Structure 1
Amino acid sequence: MLTTLAIANYRSLRSVIVPLSELNIVSGENGTGKSNLYRTLRLLSDTAQGSVIASLAREGGLSSTLWAGPETISAAMKRGEHPVQGGPRRAPVSLRLGFASSEFSYSIDLGLPTPSTSEFAFDPEIKRECIWSGPRFRPSALLIDRRGPVVRTREAGGEWRIVASHLATFDSMLTQVADAQRAPEIFTIREQIRSWRFYDHLRTDADSPIRQPQLGTRTPVLSHDGHDLAAALQTIREIGDVAQLNQAVSDAFPGASIAIGRVGNAFTIEFHQQGLLRPLSAAELSDGTLRYLLWIAALLTPRPPQLMVLNEPETSLHPDLLPALARLISAASRSTQLWVVSHSSRLLSALQQDDRCNAIQLAKDFGQTLVQEQGLLDRPTWHWPER
């Protein structure tokens, strides 16, 4: 389980260190940085997929994603006594992302490229990557150290061994040096991150593929767009917790049940409702009902990931369904670390009934995102590796 998420200089996240638990809910007014915090998890996920540089390019490049305010914010600036302006930089331009866990922790430092004649001269470079043992960085805990093109691993006796010396500045060591024999810590971190799942903006409109019969194959993991919903539900019925599936349906829709039908090789959803003579198909279900079934399939997966991120799961749901959704999320958080971004006060209130819930409320102060009521003594201990 991740215990800390750390971000420096990503958009409004000038310096944010967030403690994490099994169930984490992120809230705040519009513009406080909830989406930025969500995107940092996506960027960390992209490091293990080899696409972090491309993801930053889609966001406008490093110049667009970096903190746009001054390097140092003085008290006089906040009081309006001095204009907001920058000065000579004391530290190199750097966008840093990292997380800690009780076993291994990881950080990546991205910066400006060295001057060159390449047409890709605006691509950021990976300046340093580190993996260390335990939640706190210290030189003696460092296990893997990547500086520029060189990746070193610490041997059992404490000596360093070079495992790569010509790594490209746009390649993460997680994708290029993930060898279970030479560098098992890199392999472990990569597979951990690759298991993360993100569910965002699931389509339930009239033209959504979810509403049409879909080819049925065993689907222990619901796809990110949910098109294989029927197959995912049937997989839960066969190899998952069918009792929990039935309970989740009846909890939200008393007296209702679901079955999976076939049209040739394709699967269809059959929603049985009390008082109706025939089941309803996915094409006939309301957006809210269909979306709730999507959350059931995602959260009751027979193959739980290490981390699952839900972005605004309350979308299209009637307020009366939110307590049932909260119970479903709380139950899932016992086998998967959950991260929920939400605007719904009713959903947030229901989730906070769980004693394990970690409420992260964001606010803006002078352009930068802060965790409300987090003092210096409340922040988790975190130290960035120097370049």
Structure 2
Amino acid sequence: MNRLQRLTLNGFKSIKAIDIELHPLNILIGANGAGKSNLISFFKMLNEMMAGRFQIYIGTSGSAQSLLHFGPKITPHIEAKLEFEVDNGVDTYHMRLFHAAGDTLIFAEETLSFLQTGWPSPRTDELGAGHKETQIIKAAEEGKQTAKTLRYLLNRCRVYHFHDTSSTAAVRQSSYIGNNRWLMSDAGNVAALLLRFREENGGAAYQRIIGTIRLIAPFFDDFVLEPDASNHVILNWREMESDQVFGPHQFSDGTLRAICLATLLLQPENELPELIVVDEPELGLHPYALNVVADLLSKTALHTQILISTQSSSFLDNFDPEDIIAVNREGKESQFKRLNPTELDAWLDEYSLGEVWEKNIIGGGPH
């Protein structure tokens, strides 16, 4: 399994500096404004960068001054290094982004390297400076192997955000059946993806998803996925012991989010992203559903890497201390610290992990 084993990030939003090792399962905890969502938004920036939309992302994020730690006068550049453990070594992506005229960011440096296991030094590719969009796409298309590998890895670090379940949300609308290669970040194509899962490999992934949804929503029987004349499909469904067909607007917000999470985490193993990033997956879920989702996250982490944030102490009870990264706001910067299980042994003899967090023993709290 490929894994993002280390992330170094300087000068991004509230993150003045971070150098942290990542595990298969990583749970961010912290008070509002501590910086959890800022780390997640860094991966969102990577998603947009790898899609060739970096300058659009900067513009829609409030320009460069909103991305630089306390603005360009304090922090003139953002620097990041991502080290991926692969089968035969370590692939590393390094970039420095400088503030430029028009309140934007340009690449001051972009470097790719591969250190093969057993070799004394890495093979390095310099992608130049002064460009507004990443050059890794061009380098990969030119056939450079390190660029091809890192483009794949970076493109498969995917951020998902299922908070919008309003009546106009994409997940409640119809989607084109051909838009089914992978789950979109807002699950707007979940109906098309479920339709494909139902038809492929004997429907094994589809049945796993259906079974999990029934655990969370016992009234749910099955989806009614029938493409219309324009080859669009909508998330219609049936209740148990009823032939009446309901539409996606008749799902509660919590049930709809649970459907999105189940589809994301129970898709075929060979289709999972390399890194799944989700901000507050517990939002709107019943306590029992929280336990189901936590179990899914732990099992999925056996096959791919996961990074999530949470503000739920009961949700936290489902995980081990070594999975937890406490985020604290120290002065003007976010600090990230992974818990040390041995330091908590005495506390965990009497209290659950969530209770220890509520007592502000491990940090990541509002006090």
Cα distance in 1 between the residues matched to 2:50 and 2:169: 30
Is structure 2 residue 99 aligned with structure 1 residue 104?
Answer: no
1:368 aligned to 310, 317, 333, which one?
A: 333
Cα offsets for 1:74-93 (capped at 9, x unmatched): xxxxxxxxxxxx8xxxxx93
1:33 aligned to 32, 35, 44, which one?
A: 35
Match of 2:323 in 1: 358
Q: Which of the two has higher C-alpha Rg? A: 1
Q: Match of 2:138, as an amino acid?
A: Q
CA gap of 1:46–1:70, structure 2 versus 1, over 3 A, is closer
Q: Is the 8 A contact 2:43 2:159 kept in 1?
A: no
More helix per residue: 1 or 2? Answer: 2
Is structure 2 residue 214 aligned with structure 1 residue 250?
Answer: yes
CA gap of 1:322–1:19, structure 2 versus 1, over 3 A, is same
Match of 1:188 in 2: 149
Is structure 2 residue 104 aligned with structure 1 residue 123?
Answer: yes
Match of 1:267 in 2: 233
Deviation at 1:172, TM superposition (A): 2.0
Deviation at 1:373, TM superposition (A): 6.1
CA gap of 1:188–1:365, structure 2 versus 1, over 3 A, is same
Match of 2:133 in 1: 171
CA gap of 1:220–1:326, structure 2 versus 1, over 3 A, is farther
Gaps of 5+ in 1: 72-85, 87-91, 114-119, 149-167, 376-387
CA gap of 1:196–1:260, structure 2 versus 1, over 3 A, is farther
Q: Is the 8 A contact 1:260 1:267 kept in 2?
A: no
Cα distance in 2 between the residues matched to 1:262 and 1:69: 51
Q: Match of 1:197, as an amino acid?
A: R
Cα distance in 1 between the residues matched to 2:287 and 2:304: 25
Is structure 2 residue 266 aligned with structure 1 residue 300?
Answer: yes
Q: Is the 8 A contact 2:127 2:136 kept in 1?
A: no
Cα distance in 2 between the residues matched to 1:230 and 1:146: 40
SS in structure 1 opposite 2:140? coil
Identical aligned residues as a percent: 22
TM-score (norm 1): 0.74
2:164 aligned to 199, 203, 207, which one?
A: 203
CA gap of 1:214–1:107, structure 2 versus 1, over 3 A, is closer
Cα offsets for 1:12-64 (capped at 9, x unmatched): 21111121111111110011111111111122333322333442343333333
Q: Is the 8 A contact 1:62 1:123 kept in 2?
A: yes
Match of 1:16 in 2: 18
1:315 aligned to 272, 277, 283, which one?
A: 283
SS in structure 2 opposite 1:363? strand
SS in structure 1 opposite 2:292? helix
Q: Match of 2:122, as an amino acid?
A: A
Equivalent pairs, count: 326
Is structure 2 residue 327 aligned with structure 1 residue 327?
Answer: no
Cα distance in 1 between the residues matched to 2:228 and 2:240: 28
CA gap of 1:63–1:250, structure 2 versus 1, over 3 A, is closer
Cα distance in 2 between the residues matched to 1:359 and 1:225: 25
Q: Is the 8 A contact 2:13 2:68 kept in 1?
A: yes
Match of 1:161 in 2: none
CA gap of 1:212–1:56, structure 2 versus 1, over 3 A, is closer
Q: Is the 8 A contact 1:305 1:336 kept in 2?
A: yes
Q: Is the 8 A contact 2:324 2:339 kept in 1?
A: no
Deviation at 1:227, TM superposition (A): 2.5
CA gap of 1:132–1:245, structure 2 versus 1, over 3 A, is same
CA gap of 1:145–1:211, structure 2 versus 1, over 3 A, is closer
SS in structure 2 opposite 1:301? coil
Is structure 2 residue 184 aligned with structure 1 residue 223?
Answer: yes
CA gap of 1:142–1:47, structure 2 versus 1, over 3 A, is farther
Q: Match of 1:100, as an amino acid?
A: E
Q: Is the 8 A contact 1:220 1:301 kept in 2?
A: no
TM-score (norm 2): 0.78
Cα offsets for 1:87-139 (capped at 9, x unmatched): xxxxx9321012112220111011234xxxxxx55433311122223499x99
Cα distance in 2 between the residues matched to 1:189 and 1:217: 27
Cα distance in 2 between the residues matched to 1:264 and 1:110: 47
Gaps of 5+ in 2: 341-367
Q: Is the 8 A contact 1:130 1:142 kept in 2?
A: no
Cα distance in 2 between the residues matched to 1:124 and 1:299: 34
Cα distance in 2 between the residues matched to 1:234 and 1:330: 26
